Amino acid sequence: MKVDVIISADHINEESLEGKTVVVIDMLRATSVITTALANGAKKVIPLLTVEEAFDMKEELKSLGESVLLGGERRALKIEGFDCTNSPLEYTSDVVKNNNVVITTTNGTRAITLSLKADEILVGAMINAKAIVDKVKDINKDVVFINAGTNGEFSMDDFICSGYMIYLLSKDKEHDLTDIAKTAKLIYKSNENIIDYIKDARHYNILKTLGLEADLNYCCQKDIIKSVPRYDKNKKSIVI
C-alpha cells in the first residue's frame, strides 16, 4: 500500500487520487464535529461552503419533512440563525439524534470537493483515528491523508493526526511511505503526547485565546470513537 500526505487542500491534484482511499482531516474542529455528530446519532452531515447554501439546504430538507440542525462558525463564533457553533461538545446525542446536520466549513468542504475522484473518501480526526485506520486496511488500496489545513496553509494539528494514523497503519505491516508520510509518522513518534507538538500550532493558539480549551482537550484525545464517517458521493452527505 502506498501512503501519502497532502498538507493543504490547495495542493490536491485531483487526477492523482483516482483509485485511492482519501482520508480528509481537519481535526480542529470540523472533522471532530462531524465524527462526534454521527457517532451520537445524526442521520447524516451535509458539508457546505457558505452560510447561504446552509440556509437553502435547511429549507429544502424541511420541505421534505426532515429535521435539520445548522452548525458551523465564522471566526470561531456562532452564525446568526444557526443552532450550533463548531464545538464538538455541542453535538450531543440529545441534540443530534435523528437530525440532519448541515455544517459550513471552508477548509474541510473544499478538501472533500477536490477529492471526488478518489474511490472512497473517509473523514477522520484524532478521536476516531484507529477506526479510520482499520477501515483503510480493510479497503486495502493506496491511501492519501489530506490535511484540510488552515486557509490553505499547513497546519501542525492535521499533520500530527496524519502521523498518528500512519503510525497505526505501519504497526503490523510495512507500507510504501512517501517522504512526507515518513515525516508525519516521525513527528508523531517524537510527540506521542500530541499536545507537546500542537501547543505551538497557530490554529491551536487562536482557539486557546478564544477560551476554547475544552474543545481542544476533546479533539486531542485518541480513539474515543469507533465510527468511520465516509462521504457518500450520491447523497452529497457524510454518513456512517
Per-residue b/e over 87-117, b at no fewer than 16 CB within 10 Å?
A: bbbbbeeebbeebbbbbbbbbbbbbbebbeb
> Shortest distance, CB of residue 177 to a second copy, whole angstroms?
8
Q: Which stretch binds a second copy (CB under 8 A): 75-83, 87-95, 152-160, 213-221?
A: 152-160
Please state, in angstroms and rounded to a whole number, the distance separating the CA atoms of residues 106 and 91: 19
Q: What are phi and psi of 29, to 5 degrees?
A: -135, 0
The single residue among 137, 175, 182, 208 that binds a second copy, judged by CB under 8 A, is: 182
Backbone φ and ψ of 216, nearest 5°: -60, -45
**Residues that contact a second copy, how many (by CB under 8 A):** 21
Contacting residue, 49, 95, 180, 239, with a second copy by CB under 8 A: 180
Q: Is residue 154 close enough to count as binding a second copy by CB under 8 A? A: yes
The single residue among 50, 67, 151, 190 that binds a second copy, judged by CB under 8 A, is 190
Grid coordinates standing for 223? 480513539
Q: How far is CA 69 from CA 44, 60, 104, 203, in A?
A: 11, 13, 11, 26
> For residue 188, what are the contacts with CB-CB under 8 A and spacing of at least 6?
160, 163, 164, 166, 167, 194
Q: Which of 179, 209, 211, 234 binds a second copy (CB under 8 A)?
A: 179
| Residue 208 in the binding site for a second copy (CB under 8 A) | no
Q: Supply the minimum distance, in Å, between the C-beta of residue 103 and a second copy.
A: 24
For residue 238, the one-letter residue type is: I
Q: Does 107 bind a second copy (CB under 8 A)?
A: no
Binder among 202, 226, 233, 235 for a second copy (CB under 8 A): 202
Give yes or no for residue 164 binding a second copy (CB under 8 A): no
Contacts of 137 (CB under 8 A, 6+ apart): 169
10 scored as a contact of a second copy (CB under 8 A): yes
195 binds a second copy (CB under 8 A): no
Contact footprint for a second copy (CB under 8 A): 7, 10-11, 153-156, 159, 178-180, 182-183, 186-187, 190, 197, 200-203
